[in-house]
């Protein structure tokens, strides 16, 4: 059982972080940040998988390098770039490397990225990927593949399976219906997209009270007021209130990071009583994570 699974099972409020592999092979700066600021602050660290469809080093190698440094990873897997053969193969490979936590994502379309002429695969979606993991596990030492081939696997993996949801989406009922399918397919924990409206998040949590899996509220650090406005325009299901935008706008350039830390801490503090954890997406500001945790009253 992974540390993340164990803590959630015992009712502890958990905090997870996130890193993104580089576009290139110079990954040491990312690993240094994780070791310096995340290792002793969070329970596990997500490693993004070709995030926003921009070509870069893969999630699996990032996870392995974290394990080598004593940091528990969450292996993000998107369905955009691989068919079911490759997805199942990568799941087995991840298990062989000691990766236990897997977050199933459908993935942003290639039109958002830097290789817009690439062919999107989407052989499976996130629900299908969760089913694939559950099938490989098959509840015993001898799992089966998605095809149901009679020859069992020579050793079955075990994963702590996660998924994502957007609590503040305009059509929240569609999000809830999809979340129900994900849990039925095997999801055991949920990390949300960015949330900036605690009242709306609490309403969402009340609506999904029948879903018995731990929810980690997602918080994206805002670096500028312009970034907040962009998220309102271009990120579906994310709404940054005017009051938060004004706080970032009023902050002097040298104070923006401090104000952003305060905002994140306040958001986590205001929502921690209605969920089981927080997922902090700091977009390279990993050094801010300990201060956010302290500002949230979780230190």
- Domain locations in the chain as residue ranges: 3-218
- Kindly state the tokens that stand for 27: 């990954």
Average pLDDT, the chain: 94
Domain 3-218 has CATH 3.40.190.10: no
Compute the average pLDDT of residues 206-230.
Answer: 97
Q: DSSP label at 35?
A: I
Q: Could you tell me which residues are beta bridge partners of residue 73?
A: 45
The pTM assigned to this predicted structure is 0.95
Residue with the larger pLDDT of the pair 267 and 154 = 267
Q: 114 CB contacts (<8 Å, ≥6 apart)?
A: 53, 54, 55
Task: Grade residue 121 by pLDDT with cuts at 50, 70 and 90.
Answer: confident
Crossing angle of helices 172-184 and 198-207, in 10° steps, is 50
N-to-C CA span, the chain: 25
Query: Distance (Å, rounded) from C-alpha 174 to C-alpha 21?
Result: 32
Q: Out of 63-77, 152-166, 207-221, 258-272, pick the least confident.
A: 152-166
Compute the average pLDDT of residues 32-59.
Answer: 95
């Amino acid at each position: 059982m992974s540390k993340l699974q164990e803590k959630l099972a015992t009712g502890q409020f958990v905090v997870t972080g996130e890193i993104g592999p580089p576009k290139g092979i110079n990954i040491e700066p990312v690993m240094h940040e994780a070791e310096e600021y995340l290792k002793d602050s969070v329970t596990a660290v997500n490693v993004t998988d070709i995030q926003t469809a921009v070509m870069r080093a893969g999630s699996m190698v990032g996870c392995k390098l974290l394990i080598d440094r004593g940091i528990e990873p969450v292996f993000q897997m998107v369905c955009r770039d691989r068919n079911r053969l490759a997805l199942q193969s990568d799941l087995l490979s991840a298990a062989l490397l000691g990766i236990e936590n897997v977050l199933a994502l459908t993935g942003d379309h290639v039109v958002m990225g830097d290789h817009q002429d690439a062919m999107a695969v989407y052989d499976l979606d996130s629900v299908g990927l969760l089913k694939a993991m559950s099938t490989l596990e098959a509840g015993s030492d001898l799992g089966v593949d998605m095809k149901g081939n009679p020859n069992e696997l020579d050793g079955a993996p075990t994963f702590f399976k996660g998924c994502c949801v957007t609590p503040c989406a305009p059509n929240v009922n569609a999000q809830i219906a999809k979340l129900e399918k994900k849990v039925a397919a095997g999801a055991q924990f949920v990390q949300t997209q960015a949330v900036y409206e605690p009242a709306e998040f609490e309403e969402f949590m009340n609506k999904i009270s029948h879903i018995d899996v731990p929810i980690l509220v997602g918080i994206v650090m805002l670096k500028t007021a312009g970034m907040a406005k962009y998220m309102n325009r271009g990120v579906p299901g994310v709404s940054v209130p005017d009051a938060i935008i004004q706080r970032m706008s009023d902050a002097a350039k040298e104070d923006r990071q401090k104000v952003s830390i305060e905002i994140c801490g306040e958001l986590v503090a205001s929502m921690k009583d209605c969920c089981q954890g927080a997922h902090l997406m700091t977009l390279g500001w990993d050094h801010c994570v300990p201060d956010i945790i302290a500002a949230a009253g979780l230190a």
